[in-house]
Amino acid sequence: MSKEANQQSNSTDKLDRRKFIGVAAATTGLMFIKPELVRGTDANSAVRVGLLGCGGRGTEDATNLVDTGGARVVALADLFQDQLDAAHANFDKLQQAKGYSAIDSSQLFVGPNAFHEIAVSKGVDAIVIATPPYFHPQHLEAVVAAGKHVYLEKPVAVDVPGAKKVIEIGKRAEGKLSLDVGFQIRDCPPFVEMVRRIHAGALGKIACGDAYYLSGYIDRPPWPNASPAERRLRNWVYDRVLSGDIIVEQNIHVIDICNWVLQAHPLKAAATGSRLGRPANDGDCYGNYNAVFHYPDGVDVTFSSTQFAKGWWDVSERFFGTKGTSLSPYRGPLGIWGDDPWQWEASAAKDSSDQGFSVTGKFTSNLELADPEKKKAFVASITSGNFHNQAAKGAESALSCMLARSAAYTGRELTWDELMKSTEVLDPKIDLHKLI
C-alpha to C-alpha distance for 432 and 268, rounded to whole angstroms: 37
Q: What average pLDDT does this structure show over 237-242? A: 98
Query: How many alpha carbons fall within 13 Å on the CB side of residue 83?
Result: 23
Give me the sign of the Cα torsion angle 4, 9, 12, 16.
negative
DSSP for 385-413?
S---B-HHHHHHHHHHHHHHHHHHHHTS-
Tell me the one-letter amino acid at 302. T
C-alpha to C-alpha distance for 237 and 217, rounded to whole angstroms: 11
Cα–Cα distance list, 146 to 39, 70, 96, 122, 376 (Å): 11, 22, 29, 9, 23
Query: Does 155 sit behind a cis peptide bond, omega within 30 degrees of 0 on the bond before it?
Result: yes
Q: Which residue has the higher pLDDT, 24 or 382?
A: 382
- Has residue 244 got a pLDDT over 90? yes
pLDDT at 25: 37
Q: What average pLDDT does this structure show over 360-376? A: 81
Strands 342-343 and 335-338: antiparallel
Nearest to 80 by CA among 263, 204, 199, 226: 226
Cα–Cα distance list, 60 to 24, 143, 153, 396 (Å): 22, 20, 11, 25
pLDDT at 7: 42
Q: Which residue has the higher pLDDT, 265 or 38?
A: 265
pLDDT at 346: 61
CB atoms within 10 A of CB 193: 19
Nearest to 179 by CA among 374, 391, 376, 398: 391
Q: What average pLDDT does this structure show over 111-118? A: 98
| Burial tier of 322 (Cβ tally within 10 Å: 0-12, 13-18, 19+) | exposed
- Has residue 167 got a pLDDT over 80? yes
pLDDT tens track for 293-346: 999 999 999 999 999 988 889 999 999 999 999 999 999 999 999 999 999 986
pLDDT tens track for 142-155: 999 999 999 999 99
Tell me the one-letter amino acid at 222. P
| Burial tier of 331 (Cβ tally within 10 Å: 0-12, 13-18, 19+) | buried
pLDDT at 29: 35
336: Cβ contacts below 8 Å, ≥ 6 apart: 194, 197, 198, 202, 203, 324, 325, 326, 342, 343
Q: What average pLDDT does this structure show over 200-213? A: 98
- Has residue 15 got a pLDDT over 70? no
C-alpha to C-alpha distance for 45 and 392, rounded to whole angstroms: 31
- Has residue 19 got a pLDDT over 70? no
pLDDT tens track for 387-418: 999 999 999 999 999 999 999 999 999 999 99
Q: Domains for the chain: give ranges and CATH numbers.
A: 24-184 (3.40.50.720), 188-363+391-434 (3.30.360.10)
- Has residue 177 got a pLDDT over 90? yes
| Burial tier of 21 (Cβ tally within 10 Å: 0-12, 13-18, 19+) | middle
Annotate 23-70 with three-state secondary structure: HHHHHHCCCCCCCCCCCCCCCCCCEEEEEECCCHHHHHHHHHHHHCCC
Query: How many alpha carbons fall within 13 Å on the CB side of residue 300?
Result: 6
C-alpha to C-alpha distance for 280 and 337, rounded to whole angstroms: 43
pLDDT at 243: 98
Q: What average pLDDT does this structure show over 195-207? A: 98
Helix, strand, or coil (residue 71): strand
277: Cβ contacts below 8 Å, ≥ 6 apart: 287, 288, 306, 308, 309
* pTM of the model as a whole: 0.88
Q: What average pLDDT does this structure show over 71-76? A: 98
CB atoms within 10 A of CB 226: 16
